[in-house]
Amino acid sequence: MISSYIIYVFLFLSLYFEVFLVITYLEKRKTIKTEYIIRKNDKWPSVDIVVPCFNESNTIIATIESLLRLDYPKDKLKIIVVDDGSIDNSLKTLKIFDTNPQIKIHHKENGGKYTALNFGIENSKADLIGCLDADSFVDKDALKNMLPYFENQKIMAVVPSIKVYDPKNVLQKMQRVEYSWGIFVRKILTYLNALHVTPGPFTIFRRKIFGDIGKYKHAHHTEDLEMALRMQKHNYKIANSHRSIVYTVTPNTVKTLYKQRRRWTYGFLRNAIDYKFLFFKKQYGNLSFFILPFAVTSIFSAIYLATNFIILNVNSIFEQIAKIKLVGISFTKIHFDFFYINTSLATIIAVISILASITLVLISIKLSEGKLKLKAELLYFLFLYPIIAPLWLFGAVFNTIFSNTITWR
Amino acid sequence: MNEREKTDWLKYLYTFVITALIFITAIYISDYFSNKKMAELKSMEDNMSLDILSSETQFSLLAEASCKNINDNTLSREVSQLGDKLSYTEEKIGANDPAFQNLKINYFLLEIKDYLLMKEISNRCKDRPVFILYFYSNKGSCTDCQNEGYVLTKLHEMYPQIRIYSFDYDFNIPTIETLKSIYEIENKLPAMFINGKTIYGLKTIDEIKKIIPETKIWDKEALASSTKVSI
């Protein structure tokens, strides 16, 4: 009985979050289409993009070439590649850019991604400093589309929309829908001033920010999350330019996906503990009262609901096995009877919640792709994601509780 | 450092009201269907009661009517369907719902009534029907009771002639208590009373068939009729 009430509370919270997203979207629907399209200032600020690289010989060339294709004055754009002690061919591969005046290549001893980013920041004198993971590729208009946001002096960082690069298998196609969802949520979070990640793929900062609040920290291998929380702590505004598209290579096996997401969730939980003072404080607004508490609660609710679902289904599977052992497989005619349709409150709420999720995912796809395309990947996301996501959530919570550190790869 | 926008508390309130309204609607829908299902169970019981009454009336008229005219197959099917639906409802809404408890009492009474009537009819018509009185428990975890349920459902599918009456051993009503004391059913569940014998523990289809010699005759009859059809 208590377990039913806990399920109702979690379902209520999940529905509340979805309703909140829908209301905010309806409020801002027109703004999304028109915001920050036109630049009022003709000046092109100088921009340095730091590309930290550790064993990325397969993708680093394409990453840099995508930066070189950016529609931006060449004399205003510099690329700072920091090889973080790669032990593969990365450094050798980078030699082809030795003569390019736009690119500076540095090599340092391995110290972790945040040290490579800080090395690049220290070697930059530009007005705007960005970062780009060495497995990501920018769209040619990505940087240009961000400039109108920086005309608002309150905005200190702009994050892009991230899409999956060339999804091939079911897992990557599932992630494509998930990333579309991410684009939508990031946009909504901007309006709530509650963005709490400045992603590695192509977040652009005002140079001033690093002087004011410091550079990147180790932050449990999620330096991009910690940087955003630190900015929120100091009330610095982060915006999202949804027209700035960045493509990123995503894990293609369950194992690599599990490791990546466990690291992200673990990093979120550890940073949430480090920044616990951000919770339930009036001065931190929506982030404090809604987004952060909800993000933490959603991890535990997903684990709880998944565990309940598994127990229920495992029991049912064992019962069916026992039945087959006793009476064999019965091929009696299946007779439809409405009586046996589950119409419990939990089921009805779950159905409403799933329908709301589908609606939001469709809105997300429309926002990220420009038009509504219904593909099988939507089904992968709806049916596969709820099965595998609890795995990394459980792994991350386990590691957080037992203080097990998580490696980068 | 910048000033942060004010938190829009009104929006949180709107969201809460909308979510609560969705929840209330869901409660209403769930309640509506649950009442509908209870009404269906009640209507099934009413039908069953009417059928028993009809059988009783036919039985009283037996002197003037043939034994064959008594339609007991419909009733047997009704008992089985109602039993299935009651156990499904019990699993979903729990046994403590007062409306459900009344339905369950009614069901057990109808079962006993049907059992007594069928026994009398068979005596008068010189028939040898097979009755199984099955006692189970919903308290704790009687896995064997659940498994015996599967066995008996299958057995009824194979031999619709067998009339199976199931009773919740722990259901505290005088009629079940009387039934337990008449047939001396001990609290070792699952328990079955078949052809004058009480057997305890999980029994497979083959084990039950051994206790019911009629199944061999029915098997032979079924084989003969299928051979006729194939010829």
Better-predicted residue by pLDDT, A55 or B114: A55
- A150 with A288, same domain: the answer is yes
Rounded to 5 degrees, φ, ψ at A77 are -120, 120
Q: CA nearest A280 in B: which residue? A: B7
Instruction: Report the pLDDT averaged over residues A12-19.
Output: 92
Whether the Cβ atoms of residue A187 and residue A217 lie closer than 8 Å to each other: no
pLDDT of residue A331: 63
- A156 with A242, same domain: the answer is yes
pLDDT of residue B76: 66
Structural domain that includes position A188: 1-34+136-326+340-409
- A283 with A351, same domain: the answer is yes
Residue B59: other Cβ atoms inside 10 A: 17
Instruction: Report the pLDDT averaged over residues A50-70.
Output: 94
pLDDT tens digits for B162-199? 889 999 988 888 888 998 899 888 888 899 999 888 99
Pairing of strands A77-84, B197-200: unpaired
Residue burial B159-176, b: 16+ Cβ < 10 Å; e: rest: bebbbbbbbbbbbeeeeb
What proportion of chain A, given as a percentage, has pLDDT over 90?
67
CB distance from A348 to chain B under 8 Å?
yes
Residues 6+ apart with CB under 8 A from A154: A237, B2
| Cβ-based burial of A55 (10 A; exposed 0-12, middle 13-18, buried ≥19) | middle
Name the DSSP class of A157: E
| Residues, chain A | 409
Whether the Cβ atoms of residue A266 and residue A392 lie closer than 8 Å to each other: no
pLDDT of residue B70: 57
Cβ–Cβ below 8 Å for B34 and A343: yes
Please, where are the H alpha helices in A86-222?
A: 90-93, 113-122, 147-150, 170-191, 207-213
Domain contains A331: no
Instruction: Report the pLDDT averaged over residues A249-269.
Output: 94
Quick one: tokens of A408? 């980068």
In the three-class reduction of DSSP (H, G, I as helix; E, B as strand; rest coil), residue B192 is classed as strand
The Cβ-side half-sphere exposure at A343, using a 13 Å CA radius, reads 20
pLDDT tens digits for A291-307? 999 999 999 999 998 88
Please give the mean pLDDT across all residues of chain A: 90
Name the DSSP class of A386: H
> What's the pLDDT band for A253 if we cut at 50, 70, 90?
very high
pLDDT of residue B21: 96
Cβ–Cβ below 8 Å for B4 and A15: no
pLDDT of residue B106: 84
pLDDT of residue A242: 92
The residue among A134, A154, A178 that closes a domain is: A134
The CA-based dihedral angle spanning residues A207, A202, A141, A127, taken in that order and rounded to the nearest 10 degrees: 10
Name the DSSP class of B3: P
Domain contains A274: yes
pLDDT of residue A252: 94
Better-predicted residue by pLDDT, A239 or A341: A239
What CA–CA distances, in Å, run from B21 to A349, A351, B26? 12, 16, 8
Cβ–Cβ below 8 Å for B1 and A234: yes
pLDDT of residue A74: 93
CA distance B148 to chain A (A): 9
pLDDT of residue B16: 96
Domain contains A332: no
pLDDT of residue A346: 85
The residue among A134, A164, A179 that closes a domain is: A134
Domain contains A40: no
Please report which helix (H) or strand (E) contains residue B193, including its range.
strand B191-194
Residue B69 scores a pLDDT above 90:
no
- A284 with A376, same domain: the answer is yes
Instruction: Report the pLDDT averaged over residues A55-73.
Output: 94
Distance between CA atoms of residues B162 and B130, nearest Å = 5
Distance between CA atoms of residues A396 and A402, nearest Å = 10
Cβ neighbours of B1 in A, within 8 Å: 234-236
> What's the pLDDT band for B4 if we cut at 50, 70, 90?
low
- A70 with A214, same domain: the answer is no
Q: In one letter, which amino acid is A173?
A: K
Measured between CB atoms, which of B5, B34, B147 is closest to A326?
A: B147
Interface probe for B, chosen from A348, A354, A359 (most Cβ of B below 10 Å), is A348
pLDDT tens digits for B12-66? 999 999 999 999 999 999 999 989 988 988 888 888 788 778 777 766 776 555 6
Distance between CA atoms of residues B203 and B196, nearest Å = 17
Tell me if ipTM is over 0.90: no
What is the per-residue DSSP string for A279-290?
TT-GGGHHIIII
The residue among A109, A134, A159 that closes a domain is: A134
Interface probe for B, chosen from A292, A326, A351 (most Cβ of B below 10 Å), is A326
Domain contains A56: yes
Residue A105 scores a pLDDT above 90:
yes
Name the DSSP class of A164: E
| Cβ-based burial of A29 (10 A; exposed 0-12, middle 13-18, buried ≥19) | exposed
Residue A395 scores a pLDDT above 60:
yes
| Cβ-based burial of B223 (10 A; exposed 0-12, middle 13-18, buried ≥19) | exposed
Look at the block and give the residue holding tokens 């002690």.
A85
Closest listed residue to residue A65, CA positions, set A100, A106, A113, A89: A100
CATH code of A66's domain: 3.90.550.10
CA angle A364/A367/A369 to nearest 5° reads 100
> What's the pLDDT band for A409 if we cut at 50, 70, 90?
low
pLDDT tens digits for A279-295? 999 889 999 999 999 99
> What's the pLDDT band for A164 if we cut at 50, 70, 90?
very high
Residue A339 scores a pLDDT above 90:
no
pLDDT of residue B230: 54
Domain contains A361: yes
Does domain B130-231 match CATH 3.40.30.10? yes
- A87 with A30, same domain: the answer is no
pLDDT of residue B111: 87
Measured between CB atoms, which of A24, A319, A348 is closest to B30?
A: A348
Whether the Cβ atoms of residue A284 and residue A371 lie closer than 8 Å to each other: no
- A162 with A244, same domain: the answer is yes
Q: CA nearest A237 in B: which residue? A: B2
Q: Where are the domains of chain B?
A: 12-128, 130-231
Number of domains in chain A: 2
Better-predicted residue by pLDDT, A326 or A171: A171
pLDDT of residue B227: 66
